[in-house]
Amino acid sequence: MINLPMPYPQELIYSTVARYKIRAGLISPKQLLDDVFEDRGVVATVDLPCHLSKIANHYPHNRFNLNYIAYQHTLFPLYAPFIPESRRQECLRWMANHSQGAIHLAIGSNASRLPSVKYIRYCPQCFNEQFKDYGEWYWSRMWQIPGITCCSKHGSLANSSVEYRPNSRHDFIAPTPHNCNINPQGSVNEDDRFLISKISELLSLAEQSSPTFEQWTTFYHSLARSSNCIRGSKHIDHLCILEKVKNRWSLELLETNNLHRLESETGWLRGIFRKHRKSFSYLEHIIAIESLLEQDWSFEEIMVQVKSQTTTLPSKITQAKSNVKPDSELIEANRNIWMGLIKENQSIKGARKINQALYAWLYRNDKTWFMNTNKNCHQRHVPKGLTVNWQRRDSEFVRSLIKINDHTCFDLTLPRKSKKVVDESNLLSLND
Ligand SMILES: [Zn+2]
């Protein structure tokens, strides 16, 4: 057990480890890894670090448990409410031990659309306050959130010279006057202030189990209903939602966060109001909820609402739907079209690209046949690609060798070729 400093409020655990390095007077990153993790393979990760159980072991047992560190000193709570419960549990297990990048993949699907942070950022005036309170600087997690460019109290964030995901991945670096140039700050606008307040709510939510995708689906459906964005009895009016989003948010803010392709049939905005099959990022949730709810709201209330959604109704609807089977002629016709497409494109992927609607229809209405057919097609293609006609290859080689010999046997400028030379080189390679 080493004397790891206590983390400060909102401090990244990455930063606590970096401060230990300074306090212990360590220069070598390897020595730091030995001290803290007893493992030189640990990657210094700013946002979603692993090996937290090793860190927790350096504190008295009643002080911190692992989930506390994940929820108070990493960016995990920004993603946790939006991934299904089983994945949340899996991510916590990865953070306790190691994940070999799996955690970024599991969460990354929803984070990848947001702009990436290139350098660890800081707020110069917060540094002043930290120095006054604690006599040193540390990296706050509030500064490292993709999509947030300001400190809520003071103004725009500045880039340090410390890379967020550096090539030399094993060093933990604390803020110093050397890697943070203090420059004047730009001011905070209203939207930034709003986003930061919502993100602070997420970061301070108590640890809880995550809602299911079905509950999120039902929540957004009822949100659309209560905001009069429903056509007929149950169809989402995507145009009405689009108008509300455009009225509330500037194009600039949406563009800087890669969330501006709102009209797209396959874009995030339509996706979040359809059946959820993947998770959405905190920014997408904030933008959608804020556009439709024309009143103050908090994530605490939203989480209660989402988790109270009973999903029996939609499943009843799907059951009723699945009882109405399409007639066999239609199934037969669509099967034929699909087989034709596979033949034409030589792959399931290619066929799917050409007729996505057919792919979805067969998946819904003729799943067993569809999956089996696709599986067989995959299997059939692989061995074909690997088949080699050895006899043909041998005779081609022999023909080429005879040709080479015919061309070169009377060329006296070439090196000597004899049985002896060949035998000698074989002997040499045997001796190797
Ligand atoms: Zn600040």
Query: Tens digit of pLDDT for each residue in 278-301?
Result: 889 999 999 999 999 988 999 999
Give kind and range of the element (H or E) at residue 160.
Answer: strand 158-163
| Residue 340 identity (one-letter amino acid) | G
User: Which tens digit of pLDDT belongs to each residue from 324-374?
Assistant: 455 666 677 778 778 888 887 778 888 888 777 788 878 888 888 988 888
Residue 58's Cβ-side half-sphere holds a number of Cα atoms within 13 Å equal to: 19
Cα(188) to centroid(ligand 1), Å: 10
Tell me the CA distances in angstroms from 330 to 324, 337, 361, 368, one per residue in order.
Answer: 13, 11, 11, 16
- Give CA angle at 113 (108, 115), nearest 5°: 100
Q: What is the pLDDT of residue 148?
A: 92
Is residue 163 within 8 A of residue 117, CB to CB? The reply is no
- Percent of the chain, pLDDT > 70? 88
Cα(158) to centroid(ligand 1), Å: 10
Q: Which of 100-104, 232-236, 289-293 shows the highest mean pLDDT?
A: 289-293
Q: What is the pLDDT of residue 320?
A: 40
Is residue 77 within 8 A of residue 202, CB to CB? The reply is yes
Cα(8) to centroid(ligand 1), Å: 15
Query: Lowest mean pLDDT: which of 307-321, 345-359, 388-402?
Result: 307-321
Say whether pLDDT at 315 is over 60.
no
Cα(322) to centroid(ligand 1), Å: 55
Q: What is the pLDDT of residue 284?
A: 96
Cα(160) to centroid(ligand 1), Å: 15
Cα(150) to centroid(ligand 1), Å: 8
User: Which tens digit of pLDDT belongs to each residue from 24-59?
Assistant: 999 999 999 999 999 998 999 999 999 999 999 999
Which are the contacts of 229, defined by CB distance < 8 A and separation ≥ 6?
236, 237, 240, 241, 244, 292
| 192 closest CA partner among 143, 130, 128 | 143
Say whether pLDDT at 77 is over 50.
yes
Tell me the CA distances in angstroms from 316 to 133, 150, 175, 311, 319, one per residue in order.
Answer: 58, 46, 56, 9, 5
Residue 231's Cβ-side half-sphere holds a number of Cα atoms within 13 Å equal to: 7
Tell me the CA distances in angstroms from 91 to 44, 67, 413, one per residue in order.
Answer: 17, 11, 69
Cα(72) to centroid(ligand 1), Å: 19
Q: What is the pLDDT of residue 49?
A: 94
Whose tokens are 């803010």? That residue is 253
| 259 closest CA partner among 275, 79, 249 | 249
Cα(74) to centroid(ligand 1), Å: 19
Is residue 273 within 8 A of residue 241, CB to CB? The reply is yes
Q: Which of residues 333 and 67 earns the better pLDDT score?
A: 67
Q: Is 169 helix (H, G, I), strand (E, B) or coil?
A: coil
| 121 closest CA partner among 92, 142, 96, 91 | 142
Cα(120) to centroid(ligand 1), Å: 15
Say whether pLDDT at 147 is over 60.
yes
- Which residues partner with 245 through β-bridges? none
The answer to pTM > 0.85 is no
Phi, psi of 11 (to 5 degrees): -75, 135
Cα(286) to centroid(ligand 1), Å: 22
Cα(202) to centroid(ligand 1), Å: 19
Say whether pLDDT at 422 is over 60.
no
Cα(55) to centroid(ligand 1), Å: 28
Cα(173) to centroid(ligand 1), Å: 20
Say whether pLDDT at 144 is over 80.
yes
Cα(178) to centroid(ligand 1), Å: 19
Tell me the CA distances in angstroms from 173 to 20, 168, 319, one per residue in order.
Answer: 10, 12, 56
Q: Is 235 helix (H, G, I), strand (E, B) or coil?
A: strand
Cα(80) to centroid(ligand 1), Å: 26
Start-to-end Cα distance in the chain: 51
Provide the pLDDT confidence category of residue 182 given band limits of 50, 70 and 90: confident
Cα(187) to centroid(ligand 1), Å: 11
Please give the Cα distance from 270 to 251 (Å, whole number): 17
Is residue 331 within 8 A of residue 365, CB to CB? The reply is yes
Say whether pLDDT at 5 is over 50.
yes
Query: Lowest mean pLDDT: which of 29-38, 151-160, 240-249, 373-382?
Result: 373-382
Q: Average model confidence (pLDDT) for the chain?
A: 86
Strands 150-151, 155-156: pairing kind: antiparallel
Cα(360) to centroid(ligand 1), Å: 49
Q: How far is CA 169 from the centre of its chain?
A: 19
Cα(162) to centroid(ligand 1), Å: 19
Whose tokens are 């455009």? That residue is 246
Q: What is the pLDDT of residue 129?
A: 95
Phi, psi of 262 (to 5 degrees): -80, -30
Cα(180) to centroid(ligand 1), Å: 14
Q: What is the pLDDT of residue 376?
A: 80
Cα(152) to centroid(ligand 1), Å: 7
Cα(14) to centroid(ligand 1), Å: 20
Please give the Cα distance from 262 to 276 (Å, whole number): 17
Cα(193) to centroid(ligand 1), Å: 12
Q: How many CB atoms lie within 10 A of CB 361?
A: 18
Cα(153) to centroid(ligand 1), Å: 5
Cα(255) to centroid(ligand 1), Å: 25
Is residue 237 within 8 A of residue 230, CB to CB? The reply is yes
Whose tokens are 């995901």? That residue is 165
Please give the Cα distance from 111 to 91 (Å, whole number): 15
Q: Which of residues 347 and 272 earns the better pLDDT score?
A: 272
Say whether pLDDT at 432 is over 90.
no
Cα(62) to centroid(ligand 1), Å: 32
- Which residues partner with 119 through β-bridges? 163
Cα(295) to centroid(ligand 1), Å: 28
- Percent of the chain, pLDDT > 90? 57
Say whether pLDDT at 417 is over 80.
no
Cα(58) to centroid(ligand 1), Å: 30
Range 252-277 average pLDDT: 92
Q: Which of residues 38 and 418 earns the better pLDDT score?
A: 38
Cα(117) to centroid(ligand 1), Å: 18
